[in-house]
Amino acid sequence: MTRAAHTPFAPVASIDEVAGLLRRAGGRFSAARRLLLEALFAADGPASAEQIASGLGGRGLEADLTSVYRNLEYLEELGVVRHVHAGHGAGLYALSRAPEREYLLCDACGTVTSVHPERLAAARELIQAEFGFAARFTHFPVSGVCAACREPGCQDRA
User: SS3 for 146?
Assistant: coil
H or E element: which one contains 97?
Answer: none
- Of 10-18, 37-45, 85-93, 117-125, the window that binds DNA (rule: CB under 7 A) is 85-93
User: Which of DNA, a second copy, none sits in contact with 41, Cβ below 5 to 8 A by type?
Assistant: none
Indicate whether 87 belongs to the interface with a second copy (CB under 8 A): yes
SS3 112: strand
Residue 72 CA, distance from chain mean position = 10
How many alpha carbons fall within 13 Å on the CB side of residue 104?
14
CA 20/CA 26 separation, integer angstroms: 10
Any contact of residue 30 with DNA (CB under 7 A)?
yes
Please check whether residue 158 is in contact with residue 110, taking contact to mean a CB–CB distance below 8 angstroms.
yes
DSSP one-letter string for 66-91: HHHHHHHHHHHHHTSEEEEE-TTS-E
- By CB under 7 A, tell whether 158 contacts DNA: no
| Interior angle at CA 80, CA 102 and CA 93, nearest 5 | 55
131 belongs to the binding site for a second copy (CB under 8 A): yes
Asked if 90 interacts with a second copy (CB under 8 A), we say no
* Among DNA, a second copy, none, partner that 115 touches (CB below 5 to 8 angstroms by kind): a second copy
Alpha-carbon distance 34 to 18, whole Å?
9
- Residue 88 CB, shortest distance to a second copy, in Å, is 8
Q: In angstroms, what is the minimal distance from the CB of 121 to DNA?
A: 28
Q: Return the residue of 8, 57, 60, 89 that touches DNA, per CB under 7 A.
A: 89
Q: Which residues lie near DNA (CB under 7 A)?
A: 1-2, 19, 22-23, 26-33, 48-50, 63-67, 69-71, 73-74, 89-91
Q: Which residues lie near a second copy (CB under 8 A)?
A: 2-5, 87-88, 104-108, 113, 115, 119-120, 122-123, 126-127, 130-137, 139-147, 150, 158
